Structure 1
Amino acid sequence: MRLVTYRSEPAAAGRLGAIVNDLVVDLHDFGVVTGTPLPDNMLDFIDMGPATVTAVSRLLNEYSDDMPVGIAVPLANVKLLAPIPRPRKNIFGIGLNYVEHVAESSRTLDTSKELPKEPVIFSKPPTTVVGPGDAIEHNKNITQQMDWEVELAVIMGTRAKRVSKEDALKYVFGYSAMIDVSARDCRRAGQWIYSKGQDTYAPFGPVIITADELPDPHNINLSLTLNGVTKQSSNTRHMLFNVNHLIADISAGITLEPGDIIATGTPEGVGAGRSPQEWMWPGDVVEAYVEHIGTLRHPIVDVTPNN
Structure 2
Amino acid sequence: MKLVVFNTGRVGAMLPDESVIDLNYGYAALADSDKEARPYKKADLHVPSDMLSFIEEGKNAIEHSTKVISWVLEGNTTGPHGEKLHYKKNEAKLRAPLPSLQSRIMMAGSNFWDHARDGLNVRSEKQYTIPEVKELVKKGEKKPWGFWKQPYNVIGTDEPITYPARTKRLDYECELAAIIGKNCKDVTEKEALSYVYGWTIINDMSCRDHPSDVGLWVEKNFDGSAPMGPCIVTADEIPDPYNLSIKQTVNGEIRQNGSTSNMIWDYSYWISWLSRDLTLRPGDMIAGGTCSGTAMDQTPRHTGTTDPKLFLRPGDKLEASIEKIGTLRNHIVTK
TM-score, normalising length: structure 1: 0.90
Question: What are the superposed Cα offsets for residues 31-73 of structure 1, whole Å, 9 maximum, x if unpaired?
Answer: 2123352211101101112333234235434654444433111
Deviation at 1:263, TM superposition (A): 1.2
Q: Which residue does the alignment assign to 1:53?
A: 62
Q: Which residue does the alignment assign to 1:23?
A: 19
d(CA) in 2 for partners of 1:275, 1:226: 16
Structure 2 residue corresponding to 1:214, chosen from 215, 230, 238: 238
The one-letter code sitting in structure 2 at the alignment partner of 1:73 is Y
Go from structure 1 to structure 2 and tell me whether the alpha carbon gap of 1:164 and 1:61 turns closer, same or farther (over 3 Å shift).
Answer: farther
Specify which structure has the higher proportion of helix.
2
Structure 1 residue corresponding to 2:314, chosen from 260, 278, 282: 282
Question: What are the superposed Cα offsets for residues 239-297 of structure 1, whole Å, 9 maximum, x if unpaired?
Answer: 11111111111111221100011111000111011145521011111111111111111
Work out whether residues 186 and 195 of structure 1, in 8 Å CA contact, stay in contact via their aligned partners in 2: no
Q: Which residue does the alignment assign to 2:144?
A: 119
Structure 2 residue corresponding to 1:44, chosen from 27, 45, 53: 53
**TM-align CA RMSD:** 2.1
- Extract unaligned runs of 5+ from structure 1: 8-12
Q: Which residue does the alignment assign to 1:84?
A: 98
Deviation at 1:109, TM superposition (A): 4.4
d(CA) in 1 for partners of 2:267, 2:242: 8
Q: Which residue does the alignment assign to 2:81?
A: none
d(CA) in 1 for partners of 2:197, 2:259: 21
d(CA) in 1 for partners of 2:182, 2:213: 35
d(CA) in 1 for partners of 2:274, 2:323: 25
Structure 2 residue corresponding to 1:98, chosen from 112, 116, 120: 112
Question: What are the superposed Cα offsets for residues 11-33 of structure 1, whole Å, 9 maximum, x if unpaired?
Answer: xx221111235431111101212
The answer to whether residue 181 in structure 2 is matched with residue 157 in structure 1 is yes
Q: Which residue does the alignment assign to 1:6?
A: 6
Question: What are the superposed Cα offsets for residues 118-164 of structure 1, whole Å, 9 maximum, x if unpaired?
Answer: 4312001112100001111113x300111110000111101111111
Work out whether residues 23 and 69 of structure 2, in 8 Å CA contact, stay in contact via their aligned partners in 1: no
Q: Which residue does the alignment assign to 1:144?
A: 168
Deviation at 1:189, TM superposition (A): 7.7
Identity %: 33
d(CA) in 2 for partners of 1:78, 1:53: 21
Go from structure 1 to structure 2 and tell me whether the alpha carbon gap of 1:233 and 1:212 turns closer, same or farther (over 3 Å shift).
Answer: same
d(CA) in 2 for partners of 1:212, 1:62: 22
Deviation at 1:190, TM superposition (A): 9.1
Go from structure 1 to structure 2 and tell me whether the alpha carbon gap of 1:249 and 1:25 turns closer, same or farther (over 3 Å shift).
Answer: same
The one-letter code sitting in structure 2 at the alignment partner of 1:81 is R
Deviation at 1:191, TM superposition (A): 4.3
More displaced 10-residue stretch of structure 1: 66-75 or 164-173: 66-75
TM-score, normalising length: structure 2: 0.82
Question: What are the superposed Cα offsets for residues 62-117 of structure 1, whole Å, 9 maximum, x if unpaired?
Answer: 6544444331111321110100154423310010110111111112248x964475
Larger Rg: 2
Work out whether residues 46 and 157 of structure 1, in 8 Å CA contact, stay in contact via their aligned partners in 2: yes
Name the SS of the counterpart of 2:315 in structure 1. Answer: coil
Deviation at 1:169, TM superposition (A): 1.1
Q: Which residue does the alignment assign to 1:10?
A: none
Work out whether residues 23 and 68 of structure 2, in 8 Å CA contact, stay in contact via their aligned partners in 1: no
Work out whether residues 27 and 64 of structure 2, in 8 Å CA contact, stay in contact via their aligned partners in 1: no
Deviation at 1:188, TM superposition (A): 4.1
Name the SS of the counterpart of 2:21 in structure 1. Answer: strand
Work out whether residues 289 and 296 of structure 1, in 8 Å CA contact, stay in contact via their aligned partners in 2: yes
Q: Which residue does the alignment assign to 2:199?
A: 175
Work out whether residues 19 and 75 of structure 1, in 8 Å CA contact, stay in contact via their aligned partners in 2: no
d(CA) in 1 for partners of 2:123, 2:294: 12
The one-letter code sitting in structure 2 at the alignment partner of 1:298 is N
Work out whether residues 87 and 259 of structure 1, in 8 Å CA contact, stay in contact via their aligned partners in 2: no
More displaced 10-residue stretch of structure 1: 219-228 or 271-280: 271-280
